[in-house]
Structure 1
Amino acid sequence: MRAVLVPVCLLLVSPISTTSWTSSSELVLNPKQMCKKARRSRSKMADICNNKPGLVQHVQSGVGLAQAECQYQFRHRRWNCTSAKKSIKKVMLRDTRETGFVNAIIAAGITYQVTRACTKGEQIGCSCDKSRNKRKNKKKKTMNVPEGDWAWDGCGENIEYGIKRSKDFLDTRYKKKSDMKTLVKLHNYVAGRLAIKNYMHKECKCHGLSGSCTLKTCMRKMPSFREIGNRLKQRFDGAAKVIPGNDGKSFIPEGDTIKPPSKADLVYSEESSNFCNPNNTLGSFGTQGRVCNETSPGEDGCGILCCGRKSQSFTKVVQKNCQCEFHFCCDVKCKVCNETVRYSVCQ
């Protein structure tokens, strides 16, 4: 990967101008820089910045988590989520599928890391989620479920706290929510958070002598962030193009045959660049020089990644461990062998 993704532009004024979006993109390279501008306001984000420095650190961690996941999910695409030469900032000035994915993954990353910090006791003012425990255990007593069976217990992950703080930091900056870019952005923030909330799962542990599991305690846990990234990538592939609604406060699908997007779906209002050729204005480096897979029909295949251009094959010699043997006790000894690897590059 060439570089690390920078956080998406989060400051918006209405009416929208290219200058305002450009300055916003340059301003919010990270949450700490956002805080410098927000400290004198009376927003919820200002309260976080002024009074909760620990929370800001977890927000920063969430953005970093989102950066890494975006680059993993887009590693084979023509635009690979790079921030080199301000690519990401220029992509984020528009309202494309790529913009929608990055907005969603950042909202998810912040929600995820803040929720985990709460569960670990690293956040002041929050607690683990026991509301479900009380409801389920009360239901078990009503149903006369025998004791020694199982119970909701322990410290479930408080996803509602993570969602609230993600909203405080991202959404509350938008006082006017009627312009198209803001409506789309806020929708994709919600989709990112729902990719976590809608897929919380039950995790149980057994208690008892010799693994007898006479008592089993269960709690609610978030899915792994890789699962969240995979899910949002699927939403990206099926994202719906939308246009402003007649009321000026909503959007609708562009075509009559397109199914109205749910809250969990990603949306966009502008077509993406094909990213085949260098275009500084659009943040595209082109795909010349990218490594591709000659045999793959997918995104990483030379046919798609090279945009119909030719590819050239090369070989290189790499060293790897081979002929490994186990020696009692307890070493593994290997030889170093040379291996010739073939790869292709877009022309």
Structure 2
Amino acid sequence: SELCRRMTDLMPYVKNAAKETIEMCQEMFKEYRWNCSTIKKAPYFENDLIKGTKEQAFVYALSAAAIAHQIAKACSKGELDYCKCGVTQSENLIFSNHDETVTNELPTHPPSLASEMDENAYRWQGCSDNIDYGISASREWADAAWKSKIRTSRDLGPGGEFIWDEDELS
């Protein structure tokens, strides 16, 4: 599809997100009747994942979250040139306590770290995950199928699978 060609640099992260989705889904539902086993049949899903079921909605949401997570991590690691560290609200982590605002105090352990830093405040100096970009990319990816031609019952084969036009595949 056009989206795949436009976002080729994200494909490794989408692939990792797919693996993460399968593993998480199967782990979460391993003790249940529906144990997420049909997810491995992608893209030839069975009725449980193509008929507007709660299982389909869950897998859709889980995969969107996994894509956002993978891309946000890639941004913070500097693996994608066009997205950098996420934005933090403040250099200090500040907690509100009724009418009074106080900075978070350092824990007593490890003592060597506490002695090297200001004991009254903690300053974040790392690179936060760029969750905003991850969510944006995930939303675009997940919504691509819905934004394309709206499918009707005439587009479905006897097993409920989509029948794609040849033009859409090129």
Match of 2:48? 91
Structure 1 segments (4+ residues) deviating >6 Å: 84-87
Checking the alignment, whether the CA contact within 8 Å between 2:92 and 2:123 is kept in structure 1 is no
SS at match of 2:123: strand
| 2:80 paired residue number | 123
Counterpart check, 1:150 vs 2:122: yes
Amino acid in the other structure paired with 1:161: Y
**Distance change (3 Å), C-alpha of 1:75 and 1:153:** same
Cα shift readout 1:102-128 (whole Å, capped 9, x = no counterpart): 111111111111111111111120011
Whether 1:81 and 2:36 are equivalent positions in the alignment is: yes
* Structure with more strand by fraction: 1
Q: Which runs of 5+ in 1 are unaligned?
A: 1-37, 40-45, 138-142, 180-280, 283-347
Aligned residue identity for 1:155: C
Amino acid at match of 1:80: N
Partner of 1:184: none
Cα deviation for residue 175 of structure 1 reads 3.1
Alpha-carbon spacing, 1:173–1:135, altered in 2? closer, same or farther (3 Å) = farther
Q: Structure 2 vs 1, CA of residues 112 and 144 (structure 1 numbering), >3 Å: closer, same or farther?
A: closer
- The equivalent residue for 2:167 is none
1:64 Cα deviation after fit:
1.1
Query: Which whole-Å CA distance do the structure 1 matches of 2:145 and 2:17 have between them?
Result: 18
| Closer/same/farther in 2, CA of residues 113 and 144 from structure 1, 3 Å limit | closer
Aligned partner of 2:25 in structure 1 is: 70
Contact 2:92 2:122 in 1 (8 A): no
Contact 2:93 2:124 in 1 (8 A): yes
Instruction: Give the TM-score, by structure 2 length.
Output: 0.62
Look up the equivalent residue of 1:67 and give its one-letter code.
I
Distance in 2 of aligned mates of 1:164 and 1:70 = 23
Residue in 1 that maps onto 2:114: none
Q: 1:77 to 1:151 in 2, by over 3 A?
A: same
**TM-score when normalising by structure 1:** 0.33
Name which structure has the greater RCO, CA cutoff 8 Å, separation 6+: 2
In our comparison, the structure showing a higher alpha carbon Rg is 1
1:101 corresponds, among 32, 44, 58, to 58
Instruction: Determine helix, strand or coil for the equivalent of 1:153.
Output: coil
Cα 1:88–1:71 change in 2 (3 A) is farther
* Partners of 2:93 and 2:34 in 1: CA distance: 46
Question: Is the 1:111–1:166 contact (alpha carbons within 8 Å) kept by the matching residues of 2?
Answer: yes
Root-mean-square deviation (CA, aligned residues, Å) is: 3.2
Q: Give the superposition deviation at 1:56.
A: 1.3
Identical aligned residues as a percent: 29
Offset at 1:51? 4.5
Q: 1:58 aligns with which of 1, 4, 13?
A: 13
